[in-house]
Structure 1
Amino acid sequence: MVEDKLLGAGGVKVFANGGEDGTVRLWSLSSSGKRGQQALKATLYGHQKPVSLMSVAGHKPSLLVTMSRDSKVRVWDTNTSSAVRSSCCVGMTSLPGAPVDMKCDEALLYIAAGSSVVVVDLRTMRKVNTVAICQPKLYSFAIMPSKSLICTGGFGKALLWDIRRSQEASKPKAVTELDGHIGSVTLLHMDPYKIVTGGLGDNFVNAWEIDTGKQTNSLLCNRPELGNTNIGCSAMAVNACRIATTSYGESQGLVSFRDFSGAVRPTSSKCNDDEQEADVWKFWGTQTYSDSDGSNE
């Protein structure tokens, strides 16, 4: 497990990775000397199971949050001079259920585990609230703090939750269902414009309007000539108006890259001649894009 954000507010930058042996290693990007010797800054001990999730705290970039497969959470202060063994562990907690994902928003830690998403205050390591419940289990999780929204992937659908409503209610309720997938929704992306969902059992990834939950596109992950064969989406990466997907199958796989930045017209329209407004398929960057002129596979 490798954390994709760097630790440290300035000066020396550090990245972290977690191992199957439960250790966390900190690597300095500005180290000199032989590879593998000077680059290793510290090894942190404390987890008893493999480290499966990592996140850098939003309110203090020297804090690293790690979660192991037994759902034990530890917070490490990587600026501590004696950053060896467990001496720089500054907080611990544990949660029920298998870990799915976790995200930091300032001093709050959102943890998806088992069938729920809970909020932990990193300053006190106490549970603040449960903001989502997805039965029978969660498969994926994403958050858009600027819109106070989170999204959870379940079986056959994803659910959109308003954090503010969930905090006020005794039992959180989803505001929108993003329905129509085959199998579990294991892949999720959220940005200010859209939600993109996919999974291992589905040939398509779907795009949804983040403000309304309305489906606005469905992109095939495999080759059209293969039809509805047992090939699903195994990985997905979205950056503004660009999306890459990988599919899998018994005999072959496919990597597909679509760039909508040059698209100028919609791929399809559901409007009839008598209708005033078109319900068009679209994809977004900072504006509306479509697939007809901007697709590259």
Structure 2
Amino acid sequence: MVMTYHGHEKSVSFLSMARHKTSLLVSMSRDSRVRVWDTGASSSTGASSCVGMTSVPGSPVSMKCYDSLCYVAAGTTVTAVDLRTMRSVATVAIHSPKIYSFEMLPSKWLLCTGGEEKAILWDIRKNQTKPYPVAELQGHSGPVKLLHMDSYKVVTGGPNDNQINVWETDSGHLANVLQAYDPPATFSSSEKSLGVSALAVDGCRLVISDADQGFIAIRDFSQCSIPILASPSFVGSKFWQPQNYSDD
């Protein structure tokens, strides 16, 4: 053990390294208190290594650091905190009644929040008193707790859905709907949908796990050649229509 840092009264939920100064460690506890620690400082106790602190309202969901800012998702908002002053400089997203998941794509100045029955895309460059969404990604049942975001796509899912949705990052257009099970699972009115409990994405490969039975479904689109939504005015998606499977 190199160093133990003391100061949080509740358990630490999230950790991230600051991007503007690599020696700074950012931590957020269950009471939504944010602390910044200088890992390069010499201290026998670690308590004096805390170089800044602040707090945000609501229960913590996630946090992402970019440049000198830390974007903190808690409750119904995503707040940008300047790590140099530890002051909140902007509320970049408001998603009621609750944020369940949060991802960010700094290269495109976009972030995405998952809420009840939908996810929302936000442009963090827009300096406005009340954040306005770029696109609403609808089509889910219940909370969107699973979220992936990269330069091409946003992937959304949740524990009440037996499918995931793939969206175009730039436009928010729906690119594909993927069943978590093959063939798709069917349920009677008295049965509970399996739901999606875990999601992993690597380029054109997606791995999905269900909430109850331990099934894992793998979708690999790296060799597909038939675009969906093909039209003269539409640029083909990076994701394609899945193959049809049979019992043969």
Quick check: TM above 0.5? Answer: yes
Task: State yes or no: 1:231 paired with 2:190.
Answer: no
Equivalents in 2 of 1:132, 1:83: separation in Å?
40
Distance 1:83 1:71, change over 3 A: farther
In structure 2, stretches of 5+ residues that fail to align are none
Equivalent residue for 1:177? Answer: 136
CA distance change for structure 1 residues 83 and 102 in 2, over 3 Å: closer, same or farther? Answer: farther
Structure 1's consecutive aligned runs of 4 or more residues displaced over 6 angstroms after TM superposition are 278-281
**1:103-122 mapped onto 2 (5 Å cutoff):** 103-122=64-83
Q: What residue is the counterpart of 2:150 in the other structure?
A: 191
1:123 aligns with 2:74: no
Higher RCO, Cα 8 Å, sep 6+:
2
Aligned residues with identical type, % of pairs: 52
Aligned-residue offset at 1:83: 6.1
TM-score normalised over the length of structure 1: 0.76
Task: Kindly indicate whether the alpha-carbon contact (under 8 Å) linking 1:243 and 1:258 is maintained by their aligned counterparts in 2.
Answer: yes
Question: Is contact 1:281-1:290 (8 Å) kept?
Answer: no
Deviation at 1:270, TM superposition (A): 6.0
- 1:259 positional shift: 2.0
TM-superposed CA distance for 1:49, in Å, is 0.7
Match of 1:66 in 2: 27
1:152 alignment partner in structure 2: 113
User: Retained in 2: the 8 A contact 1:261–1:289?
Assistant: no
Q: Is the aligned partner of 1:204 residue 2:138?
A: no
Measured at CA, do residues 107 and 225 of structure 1 come closer, stay the same or move farther in structure 2, by a change above 3 Å? Answer: closer
Within 5 A, what are the aligned runs for 1:97-108?
A: 97-108=58-69
Gaps of 5+ in 1: 1-39
Verify the 8 A CA contact 1:44 1:83 in the aligned structure 2. no
2:176 to 195, 208, 217: 217
* Corresponding residue SS for 1:44: coil
Q: Does 1:292 align with 2:243?
A: yes
- CA–CA separation in structure 2 for the residues paired with 1:225 and 1:292: 13
Matched-pair contact (CA < 8 Å) for 1:137–1:154: yes
**Mapping of 1:267-278 within 5 angstroms?**
269=228, 277=232
CA deviation string 1:28-60 (max 9, x = no partner): xxxxxxxxxxxx211111111111111111111
Closer, same or farther: CA 212–262 of 1 in aligned 2, 3 Å: same
TM-score by length of 2: 0.90
